[in-house]
Copies of this chain bind each other. A is one copy, B any other.
Amino acid sequence: MRAARFYAAKDIRIEEIDEPSEDLGPHQVLVEPRWTGICGTDLHEYLAGPIVTPATAHALTGATLPQVLGHEFSADVVAVGDAVDNVAAGDRVSVMPLAYCRECAFCVRGLNQLCTRMGCVGLSWPGGGFSARVVVDDYQAWRLPDALSYEQGAMIEPAAVAAYGVARGGVVPGDRVLVCGAGPIGALTVLAAWAAGAGAVYLSEPNAKRATWAGGALDTAGVFDPAATDVVGELREATAGLGVDVAIECSGSEPGLRAAIGAVRTRGTVAQVGLHVKDAAIDPMRLSEREITLVGTWAYDVHEWPRYMAQVASGAFPVEKVVTDKIGLDDVVTKGFDVLTDPSGDQIKILVNPN
């Protein structure tokens, strides 16, 4: 079968590999991916990896490079192991890609996203969504509600990150929310904040093309270019001097984090969703004197996958708006990774048909 495998930075190869065996373990599920999204984590690997892809055998999954990428995907179930009772052959599914040990201090408390030996299908797993077939575990396969398309099913994973960030930020109906960064997670976070009942959702994004797109597609209350505008000042003005209730930092950048901390009101919350690759200077005095809370957020609550799907199925969380292109597997580098890593590009989320 065809697969997109990561070997090293700037080295993703579309090549022929063996199909996974149909001789499944009792809790295994063989699926055929339908649509698979390219994620920011994939882009980090492409630019500077291996980072999370395993150069040596992964502690939980045993996976090693080369790694079939793709961890945001919908699929059809082809076959299931003897002990699988949550899905059956022929089912449409959305794959929750996290792999966890179910034994560590965090797994036993249900905080599986914080597993000390965390793995992930398509990043540190024997297979991924950028191939015709892949074997996952039963707890990772969730039956897709009829109302959801395969495209929407592929978007549940990044949508879950956004919805979880909104939940960790404590957004309640009517809140004024600032989202920093209009990458795919930032864009989905704008939608997730609206879906949580936000009174107004503002966006800070320096890339003019993304800002223009987001201003139109995401129904924001205001989009600010942080390089040209005093975002904090603008938001104070828009909120009668108070500041926003919650800021969700999705840029992974120091300016984004500083804007988030500057823009929230007294006793407001900043949720750190974007992944920073270096230290960032903040003003701790502002945290103190305004009693601001800065809360880290990682992935999502794996047990809330049905809630994330239900939010999308209800129509309140139109994740499909963030899909800006759909391509074939053979084009995954040239029309996918290369386009998305262009800092002046206008693409947000590209879905790949792995067949």
Contact = CB atoms under 8 A, between A and B. Distances in A.
Contacts of A273: 288
Grouping DSSP codes into helix (H, G, I), strand (E, B) and loop, the A interface class, with mixed when no group exceeds half, is mixed
Nearest to A265: B105
A276 B283 CA distance: 8
A312 interface: no
A279 interface: yes
Contacts of A139: none
A257 B275 contact: no
A46 B297 CA distance: 41
Given A275-B285, A282-B280, A283-B279, A266 B297 contact: no
Residue among A252, A273, A288, A290 having the largest count of chain B Cβ atoms under 10 Å: A288
B284 A288 contact: no
A290 B114 contact: yes
Contact of A292 (B252, B267, B286, B296): B296
A267 B297 contact: no
B297 A291 contact: yes
Given A105-B242, A114-B267, A272 B295 contact: no
B294 A298 contact: no
A293 interface: yes
Interface residues of A, number: 37
Interface string A131-167: 0000000000000000000000000000000000000
B266 A288 contact: no
Interface in A245-268: 249, 252, 257, 266-267
Nearest to A287: B296
Contact of A288 (B106, B272, B291): B272
Given A279-B283, A280-B281, A282-B279, A114 B288 contact: no
A111 interface: yes
A224 B288 CA distance: 25
Contact of A267 (B111, B281, B290, B291): B111
A105 B283 CA distance: 24
B287 A291 contact: no
B296 A275 contact: no
Contacts of A295: 287, 291, 293-294
Contacts of A274: 288
A285 B281 contact: no
Interface of A: 105-106, 111, 114, 168, 242, 249, 252, 257, 266-267, 272-277, 279-298
The 10 A-B residue pairs with the shortest CB-CB distance in the complex, in nearest-first order: A287-B296, A276-B284, A294-B294, A279-B281, A288-B296, A276-B285, A291-B296, A293-B295, A281-B281, A292-B296
